[in-house]
Structure formats: C-alpha cells, structure tokens
Structure 1
C-alpha cells in the first residue's frame, strides 16, 4: 500500500490518426486519384484506337492523363497542400460573404 502513494500517474495520449503513406505526402487518396487518371488515359487509349490514331500518340495521351492525376494529387513540399485541396479551399472562400468595412485611399466612394 505504501508503494502506491509514490507512484506517478501515467498520462495516456489520445489515439492518433495516422494515415498510410507510400512515400511522404503520397497516401491512399493520392494513389486513387493517380489510378483514376491512369484509367481515364487507358480508356482514351482504347477509344482513340477505334479511330486509327497512331499508337505513339495514344500512349502519350494515356501517360499524360496519369501524369495529370499525379500532379493534381501530389502535395507541394513547402505548403503540404495538393491542388485538389487548394481548389476546395478556393471554392469555400468564394462561397463566403465578404464585407469590407473600410475604404482605403483618397477619392474612393462607398458602394
């Protein structure tokens, strides 16, 4: 009983959500967006094959679609934000009402 008086309580941290990352900044969401771009590129490759487009052009377009998917989903190393998140934040910002309480500069009229 005497031992319990001198015990220090252990602080147990809350569960931390850790997301899977294949490489730093590239997790499941980014993999799915890149695969979606690759699938669209593959479908484009098959569709353009029906019209007799040369294989080099079709492969180039398929790789470009996968590259666009990768470019949209990869995070900027400086900010840690990808293009999809930037577009989402921009849309949320544009949806908010904006009020400007001050008029700066000389000769400007209030609206």
Structure 2
C-alpha cells in the first residue's frame, strides 16, 4: 500500500456537514437531552393546554438552539464557544504598558 505524505498544516476532521462534525452533533444532542429534561418542568405546572404546550416547546428548543449557536463554526472555522474561551484567556492576561502616551 503506498504511503502518502500529509502536510502538518492540514487538519483531518470528520465532518457530517461542512463545518459541522461529530463533536458538534454530540453537543447539540446534549442540548436536546437538557431540553428534554427541562420540558418536563412546564408539564408539572397547572397551565391550560395551549400555554403549557408553548412552554414545553420553548423549554425544549431553547437549549437546542443555544448549543447549536455555541458550536456552529463560521467561515473562518471559529465557533462562538471558542471565541468566548479566547476572550476569557485574553481578559485574564495582565495588561502591562511599557511606555506612556506621548513618549513614543
């Protein structure tokens, strides 16, 4: 069997849809599981059927939507979750300025 050289810059990642791989599907499935548990809360409330159905639908779809938005990658390959993590790392760095304004 011939051996192929793969450059280091090439990342191999299984994607079911472009920019949406197995990790993202698992994250959305976890959001669906959380939504399935949360939709049981309005079912226990004494509401009429229409508001109860709306509340259950909302409680189920909200975690699904949030998890999808967090893991969906943009055209640059960055997800909102990754950008939030990068912002937290940047915000925790000390800000040291080695010059004063006007000295440069």
TM over 0.5: yes
Cα distance in 2 for partners of 1:74, 1:14 equals 27
Please tell me whether Structure 1 or Structure 2 has the larger radius of gyration of its CA atoms: 1
1:96 aligned residue: 93
Offset from partner CA, 1:39-84 (integer Å, 9 cap, x none) = 111111112211234112211221122011101110122x320011
Note closer, same or farther for the CA distance 1:39–1:52 as it changes in structure 2 (3 Å cut).
farther
> Any conservation in 1 of the 2:35–2:59 contact (CA below 8 Å)?
yes
**How far 1:88 sits from its partner (Å)?**
1.1
Q: RMSD of the alignment, in Å?
A: 2.3
1:6 aligned residue: none
Q: What number of residue pairs does the alignment pair up?
A: 95
1:59 aligned residue: 57
Cα distance in 1 for partners of 2:54, 2:90 equals 42
2:28 maps to which of 16, 23, 34: 34
TM-score norm. by structure 2 comes to: 0.77
1:43 aligned residue: 37
Note closer, same or farther for the CA distance 1:74–1:55 as it changes in structure 2 (3 Å cut).
same
Moved over 6 A (4+): none
In structure 2, the gaps of 5 or more residues are: none
In structure 1, the gaps of 5 or more residues are: 1-10, 107-111
**Counterpart check, 1:84 vs 2:81:** yes
1:13 aligned residue: 5
